[in-house]
Amino acid sequence: EVEILDEDELPEDQQREGREVTDDEGEGEEGPFYADEESTFIPLTWATKLPRSFYKGSDPEWQEFVKVAKDKQRHRKIQDELVQVVYTGATQHPTISRQLGGKDLKVGKYWLDISFPDGPPPEYERSGLEIGDGFIAWSQQKVSQEQQWRITRALWPSAALSSLWAAGKVLCGINYRRVKQALGLEGSDPFSPEERYRTAMQIMEKHQRAQERKQLGNPRASQTPDGGLPAGTATPGNLVGSAAEEPSLAEPQSNDPKSSTKPDPNTKKLPYNFPTLPLPSTSLTNPTASTDLPIAMHVFSASLNKSWNPPANSSQKAEPPRGSFVVQGLVEVRGSRGRILFDVQSCYDPRQNKYVVVNAAVRGFKRWNQAPRGGP
């Protein structure tokens, strides 16, 4: 007969020596198993947000922040580097450079502030199958905030859907106003998207014609009251349109039948003829040119650029990467035509001594000389 006794009831010489198990050891045995970076990971669950962590005073990232905070000369160097990055980007951007005058751009006033985050950006965790060298296991994988944002944006394309909705709404409004104008219920609205687009294109074409006259050596050519060229004036559009009717200057036409080009006998002919289809006009001087599609594409691209990244005041705003701090503020760039104020959001890594993220958005544009839009 076997009798089971507790360890306390055993004689002292038969009791076993034990050891205390710490909390760290217990958590190590029961904690999640993260997949190795060299293994193949197949995610099978949606990522969940991990509890937020904060920097400690002993962390190397916080120690680096303390060094930067005490070095005022380094503050100025970091700010000057960001100003130079914004200035270089403005000079290399064709639209911004043209708006400012194109030449002799310079940095105006700027105000930049440095702020240190309390902790690293939040991380996410997802579960799935880890396929390694000779094994398959159920493991977890950590996902950064930027990766999670990109995955969410790809699986739920809210930016593309909102852009399609905005473009469709503009097209419906254009056709609705067109029907009302055809019925005589209302006149042309100068502030409608189609009229604003048409006015902008007319101004652009006038500017292009002025540049073409300078290239042709006739900058003082007279103009009609509407800003066009008089009849008979040679323009690139007229030259292209009459190229099929008049002989070329480089290759004079000859009446000799022997000199006429003959079709290549080796050229294969199609058994049927394709009809000649008219191509859509790209010039607003043609009354049949439609502006609906260009306006819709412009609205779609503008809405997509606005919705592609989270706004600065949104809860989905990306936080600075681990070990980096935020440098944000206003930078002004001046030119011969006006000045542009940029709203700058950037992240600087002191260990790498460089900016890892730089975002600059146009906050305002002011012309030195502003003409009345309504005319003289």
Q: Directed axis angle between helix 72-92 and helix 60-70, to 10°?
A: 90
- Give the start-to-end residue ranges of the domains of the chain: 32-70+123-156, 72-119+319-369, 157-212+286-315
Q: Tokens for 197?
A: 């687009």
CA atoms within a 13 Å half-sphere pointing along the CA-CB vector of 168: 6
Per-residue pLDDT at 26:
46
Question: Residue 351, class by beta-carbon neighbours within 10 Å (0-12 exposed, 13-18 middle, 19+ buried)?
Answer: exposed
Calpha distance 261→263 (Å, rounded): 7
If we measure between CA atoms, which residue out of 171, 150, 156, 154 comes closest to residue 300?
Answer: 171
Per-residue pLDDT at 66:
92
Q: Which of 20-34, 120-134, 170-184, 258-272 has the lowest mean pLDDT?
A: 258-272
Q: What is the mean pLDDT of residues 4-23?
A: 48
Report the length, in residues, of the chain: 376
Has this prediction a pTM greater than 0.75? no
Calpha distance 168→237 (Å, rounded): 33
3-class SS at 27? helix
Percent of all residues in the chain with a pLDDT value above 90, rounded to a whole number: 23
